[in-house]
Chain A
Amino acid sequence: MENFPILSLLIFLPIIGMVLILALPKDKDKTIKWLTLVITGIQVILAVIILFFFNFSLGGINDPSSFQFVEKLRWIEISGLAWVGKIKIDYFLGIDGISVVLILLTTIVTFIATLASWNISKSLKGYFALFLLLDTAMLGVFVSLDFFLFYVFWELMLLPMYFLIGVWGGPRREYAAIKFFLYTLLGSIFILLVMIGLYFSATETLVDGSKVFTFNLLALMDPANYNVTGILSPLNPNNLRFIAYIALFIGFAIKIPMFPFHTWLPDAHVEAPTAISVILAGILLKMGTYGILRISFPIFPEITQQLAWYIGLFGLINIIYGALAAMAQKDFKRLIAYSSVSHMGYVLLGMASLSTAGITGAVLQMFNHGIITAMLFIIVGIIYDRTHTREINAFGGLANQMPVYTGFVMVAFFAAIGLPGLSGFISEVLVFVGAFGNELIRVLTIIATLGILLGAGYMLWAFQRIYLGTLKDKWKELTDLTFIEYCMLVPLTIIIIVLGVYPSVILQFMSASVNAIVKFMANANIIHSSISTF
């Protein structure tokens, strides 16, 4: 199993699908949809196979030998003249405990999103072709271990998103799409600058003993690889590592989205079609925090230590601001969008704690939030498909008319609130335990618990306004769930409940990696460790 390029297959299968779709003659709508469904379904199976063969004891993070399913091929090699030197870029893939969780999330959410795209009516060829291209880009980001490759996949997702929002979206779609594009691209240029800076600051020693500048992330994490003159080298007394860290952080923070770089999110979410909102909130937002965890933390550990409090502070601001803003919304989808901002704040808080419980909670929250928010957006989509409005005050008493639907809504809403027994509770508790254990951000944690209260506030209030109360006359004809909607909601519900009761299912995959990263960060400086996970 080790030698089979399962990761490449996982990433590039959608490209094959995209080519097939583009080659199909016109008006083969059903074929296109089923082809996409089959491909995303195969991806889920591949992800499960990867999980099956996953070795729990290998940590990864910065140790090349403990990454799994590694594929390393020479991609670009340009032999050097005396003054330009060699350039070597590798096609380097590999996963560890953190990425495998996100791969599972991506494949599941993409499959669900394909189902949610069933009702798309215009230009299906273009839609599903772009959809599959986006799929490739997202998976590529999570498995790349070479910075250049990572960057290419990161940028690759911009254009499909622009078109998916811009062509198939709501009334203000063009504005939302270009805003998303420009905002994210602005962040990307920071990442590019830091990437090039790191390239010149570190060398990788090849098999034959020669040294070459590198984009290899794992090589960049090893302080022994840095040269004395590089601008981002810890050995250089005049280094710009601090500024570079902030720049890199901003680049990733725009994606999270972290206050104050979050303003693209409400517009993008509201205008995007349901399936794209699901992908945006379920997967794309996680790319930001993943980037911080995979790149920022291990490459700049000493600066992370210095700025941990600020990361926690921004996490807190996200939690509180997102919750308060959600409470003020009149548009159901906008409310969910702001709740996403709030929930990603927990991830930041957990990461800032630099403790086992905290980071475990953060990664788990990434997974859980992905599933929960996917479900929430599908819920909005269901009601929007029937009524063509998302205004909260236009509804009321839907529980009477669509009881099964409301049942699922309850699961999703309570999971979002963090009710024990559902998955959201586990991740939030872990984040709080880890963050509280870290003396530095203890105060922030205490204030953050307010977020739970606010979360319950806006969710329950929204639930009451939409689903409880008296039914308006014009909604008396609404139908309950269709078969496709069942197919979307049931798997998500199962995952939420299972992970609420027995979270070990996921936790066992990430524990070795989380321990590895905590230890790695601890060795960079002295930090406070906290209670270990159960």
Chain B
Amino acid sequence: MTVYDIIFYLFALITVGSAFFVVTLRNIVYSAFFLLFTLFGVAGLFVLLSADFIAVVQLVIYVGAILVLLLFGVMLTHNITQVQIKTGTLQIIPSAIAVLILAFSLIKIFLNTNWKTVPLTVQSSSVEGLGVLLLNQYSVVFELIGILLLIALIGAASMARR
């Protein structure tokens, strides 16, 4: 158990634990804040993978922009803290059994596979490599994402307007 592993498990715990609370808590403001911790945990995992640019982008965009907007929306909505969010579960026993079987089989399969791995090297900066890929090999993907964002914008505006 190297330090690396310990830090990895710490961030993983933050991510998954916060996600659990996001889903189960009844107060929507609490849920939003726990979402912040989830996204923060993911950023940490990115750092551990030496994907420095992605980690920063994750923090800036997800936490800084999306989550802040979410919190704005939550706080500007009238009486939102009074809204009762249903967080119960139906059919607890069958779903618990199904989830346990699924989890068990997934874990077993994952532990027994030979994953394709590359040795982890610490790179200087991943920005240049990412940029080159995005604009050369994956340029059509890049453009497609642009259109996807446009569609999302138009769609959201259309749904929100009266």
- Determine direct contact between A and B, CB below 8 Å: no
- Chain A contacts to B: CB under 8 angstroms: none
